Chain A
Amino acid sequence: MIRARSISEPTIKDTIIHRMDPRAKIIMLVAVSFIVVALDNPETMLILFLTVLGGFIPAKMPLIKLKTLGFLLLLLIWGTMYSQALFYSQLPRTVIFTIISPDLPFLGWFTHGGLFIYKEGIHYGAVQALRSATVLSLGLLMGWTTDPRDMLNGLVRLKIPYSVAFMVVTAVRFLPIVIAEVATVVAVQRLKGFKPTKFGYGMIKTALGILTPTLANCVRRAGVLAVSIESRAFRANPTRTYLKELRCSNFDIAIITITVSLAIAIISVKILFNLYTSEVYYSTYLREIYAFARWYL
């Protein structure tokens, strides 16, 4: 079964992906996010997506993680396709199914003339979903192959202020505890004969019921934890030292170099191409670049 844990817990192994420096992972993730936004060509987007998926092979992820990934991707792609099938606004478009007829009282008015599924929208949605799917898969690959603590170390070395990193470590550390507490509160409510699934006010009441004890515990805990931390000289000095050092391997440096240059190159070519199509700047020397951008990016 796919549980919350199968999304949130990393699988610690010793593979080439696991050994990557967290900084390299974060930088790669950001670079790919930019590339994904710049790209328009469906084939290239698909190749990028498949490359990212390929990364799961050397990472030797257990089956449950792959199942989780597959499940999340399916949901994501389905969701985007569905929403775009509804909201596609380019022409031509073909109605293949009517969800809400414009004549329907209220809803017809509310939706400004009904809701339809457009054939072209489904296709468009599938292509656009590749963007989110690529970022999601890469993110999960990074998340699942990195101990949160290393990830934070990476962030701190990337100039995230230490107190912020501290807050995030604390948040990560208490995540399983808070989840367990939420589960207990839900159990308590069920044992007291409360059915927490009623839509509307019932759900809000449930939410209040769950949050009150959970947060009360958080508030109590915060007091103790804060004293415990302060008695260990938290923020006693403006700077601090670190026991653990991060070292970039050649592989990490190669990854950073490749993804960052790729991102810069793609974005620059894309901008040049757009300058050309918007008749702002054109140079005959760049004709091949224009052609490349038109066909592949």
Chain B
Amino acid sequence: MKPILLALVLVLLTLPLSTAQDVGFAPEEMFSFSVQVPYGAKEGGLAVQGSNLSAYLFVESFQHGDMDVRVHLDLPDEFEVKDETVQMFRLHTEYDDWYRFIDFHVPPDVPCGIYTINTTAYIDFGDQHEIIERKTTLRVASKNEISDMISIVSVVIPSDEDGVGDPSRPENSIILQEASPFINKIKKIAGMGDSNEDVRVSYVGVEIENNGDEAVPLIVSYEILDIKTMQEIGEFKPTLMGMSSKTFSYSNIILPARSSKVVGLPIYTTDSVMGGEYLLRARVTVTGSNWDAATSDNKITAISRNWTSVVVSLVAFFLSITTIGIFVSRSNEIMNSFKTRHLVMISLFGTASFAAVNIPMTFLWEISHAVFGPFSFLFTGIFYEVILYMLIVAAVVLIPKPGVVFLLLMVRYLLNGIVLGHFNPVFLLSYSVNAIILEIMLYAAGTTRGNMDKLKTGLACGVADAISQYVSFSLWMVLYRLFYSDWYLKANILIDGFIYTFIGAWLGIKLGSKLKKVVE
């Protein structure tokens, strides 16, 4: 069986070779000749009245040796031809080729209809003389006809390269890479810049529909305008590698009859683009004309944000270094202002917070992530916010003094380090920032000055924790290069950071006053 199969394969393989040899010097085998009117239209073309178009001629020799060629392009008389329609040239060797664009103008008053264009090539190759003809058509349509055919179905911002919407980002917005060149530099030096070296920030997806019965050559582009003056903003079309991005932020397509297509166009920016609202105008023109066959205006918002996480991280870093520095250098003074009983109580509260929050969370944190996915913060927040703040605020109620929160969180951090080995600098930063902000807020609210107002304390803790959450997310994003989407940050800050903490603090006052009776 096998040898037969092998023979069959061999026969099949040799088949094309043998047929090629049989035909020999047929004209079509001698050279290739093609015509596109306008350029890009493989079959019948389409033009709108008043277009400037080019006919494209292409000849390629398949023979070794000189080949003299004369090409006649016969355009309808109604068209205004701007170049020579007869071209002569010589091809010297196999695969030598020649092409030319012959520009012509379709006047606005040319009657609509289908025009036939004949092209003839005369070839002399040694003793052989051949004539080859090509026939194409060009349909000239009125603006109204085109307008009825072509429409923009939708504009999606931001999208991916293929123009497919990116639903995880806010609609109709582009996120600017950086707003400040200074920060940009710092970010790059610190190794926290984005890996994308260019300044492309996003894509816009434009969906175009062709209702007509023939394919239409189109150019899809966009411009970003000032929303008030309607002037184009040049910063969105910056010069990249010596080229204006105008030259590559458009797309040339041929839209087949009765079809639609989504085109993705890159949006570029420079560092000097400001955040704010702009108008993005998507444009579709028929090839050869400047006239917009269809446009679509979309209000977009440019958001600048990333640099803030870097600044926040830096501020957090210096803030905590300073605080820890001050604490270590003046620790005796600070610690001596507390009674021994208070120190012991704080450390026992630290133990309790560790036992009630950190230990269960070591397991539950990741498990709840696996179970609840991105909504696990609704569960973990009960421990990290409600219970923790119950403890913190209860401690403050028992010992209404500034510094209690700081000591409590310090004990918790060190316990975490000693027992679980979590001497992580990110934890250190977020714990200390949390402590500092909370101390400030509780002092402002009067809680650490002995004024136990449930509402004020709850608000103070809520705001403090919301800020701390934001800071610690920034730290994770910057130091551990992790991504979090906007809604996730907002939900965490609002629900965990504020609402849960508020509840925790509220209950903490209640718990604290119960415990106070134990002391008495």
Contacts and interface: CB of A to CB of B under 8 A. Distances in A.
Main SS of the interface on chain A?
A: helix
B354 to A, nearest CB: 7
B336 interface: yes
A294 to B, nearest CB: 12
A265 to B, nearest CB: 15
B328 A274 contact: no
A223 B168 CA distance: 54
Interface string B163-201: 001011111000000000000010011110111100000
Interface in A200-241: 203-204, 207-208, 210-212, 214-216, 218-223, 225-227, 229-230, 234-235, 238
Given A164-B335, A215-B394, A235-B340, A128 B424 contact: no
Contacts of B341: 222-223, 226-227
A132 B480 CA distance: 8
B371 to A, nearest CB: 11
A270 to B, nearest CB: 6
A57 interface: no
A4 interface: yes
B161 A91 contact: yes
Contact of B189 (A26, A79, A160, A278): A278
Most B C-beta atoms less than 10 A away, residue of A136, A152, A171: A171
B112 interface: no
Nearest to A113: B167
A112 B420 contact: no
A155 interface: yes
Contacts of B160: 91-93
A135 B424 CA distance: 7
Interface residues of A, number: 105
Interface string A37-73: 1101000000000000000000000000000000010
A222 B398 CA distance: 12
A237 B414 CA distance: 24
B507 A175 contact: no
Interface stretch (A13-21, A138-146, A249-257): A138-146
Contact of A78 (B185, B343, B366, B483): B366
Most B C-beta atoms less than 10 A away, residue of A152, A211, A212: A211
A79 B342 CA distance: 39
B142 interface: no
Interface in A83-131: 83-84, 86-93, 99, 102, 110-116, 121, 124, 128, 131
Contact of A112 (B169, B348, B386, B483): B169
A91 B198 CA distance: 13
Given A161-B331, A203-B382, A215-B349, A87 B485 contact: yes
Main SS of the interface on chain B?
A: helix
Interface in B470-520: 479-488, 491, 503, 507, 510-511, 514-515, 518-519
Contacts of A161: 328, 331-332, 335
B482 A215 contact: no
Nearest to A98: B167
B390 interface: yes
A278 B515 CA distance: 57
Given A148-B419, A159-B328, A211 B348 contact: no
Contact of A175 (B193, B344, B345, B351): B351
B369 interface: yes
A110 B491 contact: yes
B266 to A, nearest CB: 10
B423 A139 contact: yes
Given A159-B328, A163-B343, A220-B518, A40 B425 contact: no
Interface stretch (B21-29, B82-90, B145-153, B357-365): B357-365
Nearest to B338: A163
Contact of A113 (B169, B345, B365): B169
B503 A278 contact: no
Nearest to A170: B347
A155 B331 CA distance: 15
B473 to A, nearest CB: 11
B336 A26 contact: no
Nearest to A73: B366
A138 B421 contact: yes
A79 B370 contact: yes
Contact of B348 (A8, A136, A139, A178): A178
Given A8-B359, A83-B482, A215-B394, A178 B518 contact: no
A131 to B, nearest CB: 5
B319 interface: no
Given A168-B347, A171-B350, A174-B351, A211 B390 contact: yes
B449 to A, nearest CB: 21
A275 B420 contact: no
B242 interface: no
Given A83-B482, A159-B328, A219-B398, A172 B415 contact: yes
B482 A229 contact: no
Interface of B: 160-161, 165, 167-171, 185, 188-191, 193-196, 328, 331-332, 335-336, 339-352, 354-356, 359-360, 362-363, 365-367, 369-370, 373-374, 379, 382, 386-387, 390-391, 394, 398, 407, 410-411, 414-415, 417-425, 479-488, 491, 503, 507, 510-511, 514-515, 518-519
27 contacts: A8-B419, A29-B421, A37-B480, A80-B482, A83-B374, A83-B482, A83-B484, A86-B485, A92-B160, A111-B168, A112-B169, A113-B168, A139-B423, A140-B421, A164-B407, A167-B347, A168-B414, A170-B344, A171-B347, A208-B507, A208-B511, A211-B394, A215-B391, A222-B348, A226-B343, A274-B188, A274-B193
- 5 tightest CB-CB pairs across the interface, nearest first? A139-B421, A113-B167, A75-B366, A278-B188, A143-B421
